[in-house]
Amino acid sequence: MTGSGKTTLGEKLAKMLGIQHVSRSYKEFVNSNEELMKFLKDVPDEFVRKFDAEIRREAKSADSVVSSWLGPWLIKESTLNVLLEASFEVRTDRVAKARKITAKEAREYVKDKDLRFIEEVKRVYGINIAEESGRFDLKINTERMSQEEITAIIALASIEKNKKIFG
């Protein structure tokens, strides 16, 4: 979900493991929070499929950490699927700080973005990502540990699960 730590922790993990970080977002097509909300409302299904195919291609090009809501569904041969969780309050606080917006704006932004993305995935792929958490190997509450602790746990689990890559 928005503000759970996917991108921040993905960057740290990729650096720790010495592999590429794949993190694509619709934010690269807009200039503001308002434009993003409009974009999410009107994004064509075919655009979504092509965008997700680009993420898949990039992730398959080399060993990768993929920071994506849809990672477990897009990258079927992944080594480890991790669900990062945080309360709505913590996620909105993180978003407010990162985007330099008010707490009220952050609450609206997170609520709208989460809802629109969940609806988009359900419409385009028939997947209810809000309820289908069984594809994850590991679930971590990002409120309870430091970024370094979380990164170390994920790295250890990934290395242990697939020793042939990290030797």
* 103 domain-assigned: yes
Containing structural domain, residue 45:
6-166
pLDDT at residue 160, as a whole number: 86
* 68 domain-assigned: yes
Q: With contact defined as beta carbons under 8 Å apart, do 107 and 113 qualify?
A: no
Instruction: Residue 127: give its domain's CATH number.
Output: 3.40.50.300
Residue 120 pLDDT greater than 80, yes or no: yes
According to DSSP, the residues that pair with 130 across neighbouring strands are none
pLDDT in tens, 13-48: 999 999 999 999 888 888 887 887 788 788 899 999
pLDDT in tens, 46-102: 999 999 999 999 999 999 999 988 888 888 888 899 999 999 999 999 999 999 999
* 97 domain-assigned: yes
Q: What is the average pLDDT across 141-149? A: 95
Overall number of domains in the chain: 1
* 122 domain-assigned: yes
Residue 127: helix, strand or coil by DSSP?
Answer: coil
* 45 domain-assigned: yes
pLDDT at residue 52, as a whole number: 93
Residue 132 pLDDT greater than 80, yes or no: no
* 1 domain-assigned: no
Strands (E), the chain: 20-22, 64-66, 82-85, 138-141
> Which is higher by pLDDT, 7 or 135?
7
